[in-house]
Amino acid sequence: MQDDESGDANGASSTERWLRGIETLLLGGGERFTAEEVRAAAGVDEEWSQRLWRAIGFPEIPPGVRALTPADREALTQVAALRRAGLGDDDLVNVTRTASLAMARIADAVTAESTVWANVMGATDESSSEHVDPLATFDSLLSYLSRRQLLAAVLWRTAATGDDLDWPNLAVGFADIVGYTELSQQLPGDDIAALVGRFDSVTSDVVADGGGRTVKMIGDAVLFTAETSAGACEIALTLSARLHADRDAGFPGIRVGLAWGPVLARFGDVYGPVVNLASRLVAAARPGTVLVGAEIAAFVSDDERFATRPLRARRLKGLGRVQLHALRRADP
C-alpha cells in the first residue's frame, strides 16, 4: 500500500481513497443522505429509526450529516415495510440486534484472516476492484448461510413439538470426551489434536461396524443413530470399552447417552425431542458410563447381552424429571 501521507488533488491520502473504495464496493457509490432524508424515504419517525440504528450497534448520526448510503436507505425502507406488515417494533429491534451482533463477529473473523485481509490491504484506487472482489462475494454466501440456518431453526422448532408427525423411530446416541474443556486448557495443541483425532477415528469405525450412522462430529462429541435399540447399545458399550482401553495411553475416556423415539432426518442432520433427550443424558452420565432412556431400557430388558439398572429420576433441562437407566454388558 502507498505511503499514507501521499495525497490526491483533493488532499485525500491513499488510505482515505482506499477506504472510500471499500465503502463503495460494500455499500455502493453515488449520493449520500442525511438521517432525516432516509427516515422520510422510509416513512418512519426519528425515535424508532434511532432505536433501530442503535440496535445495529452504531452511534447516532448528527443532524444534517450526509453519511448514509443508498444501501442504508433501502435497508430502512425494507424494515419499515415489515413493520407495516404487522411485525412488532420490539421483535424487529431484537432480531436486528441479534443479526447485527452475528454479522459483527463474522466481519471480525473475515478481516482477521490474514490472506483475506492482505488482499484488501493491498488494494489501491487503481487495483481495488481486482483485489477486493473476493470479499464482496461474502454477500451472497452470507445470504445463503442465513437461509440455511433459518431452515434449520424451523426444523428444530417443528421437531421440538413432535405432535402428529409420522417420523420413523430411531435410537439416537451422544458420546463425548470426559473433561475435554479442562484438558484443552492444559495440553499442547498437538496433543489435543491427537486426542480428538483418536476419538473421531474410533467412533467412526465402531458406529459403522455396528450398523449405525455417524450424523456429525461436534468438537469433543459425536452424534450417531441406529435403527434398533440393541444396535445402539452395542455401539455405545463397544465405543466406551475401546476408548477406556486407551486410558493408559492418556485418553481420558468417554460417556454416552442413548434415547429412542421419532426422528426427523433432513440434510444429513436429525431433529426431534429424542435428540434433546440423548444430549441431556450424556451430560448427566458419569465418566465411563452409558445412560439410556426408559424406552431403550425396556426394549433390551430381555436381551441377554445387556443389563440395565434404574437410577433415581433426575430433572433434566427442558425435559422435567426423567427416569435414568445405567447400561452395561450382562455378566457371563
Q: pLDDT tens across 58-87, in order?
A: 778 888 888 888 888 888 898 889 888 888
HSE (CB half, 13 Å, CA atoms) of 92? Answer: 20
Grid cell, residue 201, equals 477415528
Nearest to 72 by CA among 83, 61, 87: 61
Cα 184 to Cα 191: distance, rounded to the nearest angstrom: 9
3-state secondary structure of 239: helix
Cα 42 to Cα 250: distance, rounded to the nearest angstrom: 62
Cα 187 to Cα 207: distance, rounded to the nearest angstrom: 28
Cα 326 to Cα 282: distance, rounded to the nearest angstrom: 11
pLDDT over 60 at 273, yes or no: yes
- Is residue 111 within 8 A of residue 120, CB to CB? The reply is yes
- List, in order, residues 6 or more apart from 5 with CB less than 8 Å away: 13
Cα 73 to Cα 75: distance, rounded to the nearest angstrom: 5
Output phi, psi for 214, to 5 deg.
Answer: -80, 115
Helix ranges, the chain (H): 14-27, 35-42, 46-56, 70-84, 89-112, 114-121, 128-136, 138-161, 180-186, 189-209, 229-244, 273-284, 294-299
List domains and CATH numbers for the chain: 14-136 (no CATH), 165-329 (3.30.70.1230)
Q: Name the band, by pLDDT with cuts 50, 70 and 90, for residue 233.
A: very high
HSE (CB half, 13 Å, CA atoms) of 96? Answer: 25
pLDDT of residue 5: 47
Grid cell, residue 273, equals 425431542
Query: Which 8-state DSSP code applies to residue 5?
Result: T
3-state secondary structure of 89: helix
| 20-34, 199-213, 256-270: range with lowest mean pLDDT | 20-34
Cα 232 to Cα 235: distance, rounded to the nearest angstrom: 5
Residue-wise burial string across 92-119, b where 16 or more C-beta atoms lie within 10 A, e elsewhere: bbeebeeeeeeeeeeeeeeeeeeebeeb
Cα 100 to Cα 96: distance, rounded to the nearest angstrom: 6
In this prediction, residues 178-187 reach a mean pLDDT of: 75
Q: What are the tens digits of pLDDT across the range 255-265?
A: 999 999 998 88
What percentage of the chain exceeds 90 in pLDDT?
19
Cα 42 to Cα 80: distance, rounded to the nearest angstrom: 6
Cα 23 to Cα 128: distance, rounded to the nearest angstrom: 11
CA distances from 170 to 23, 35, 193, 305 (A): 51, 56, 31, 20
Q: What are the tens digits of pLDDT across the range 311-330?
A: 888 888 777 788 889 999 98
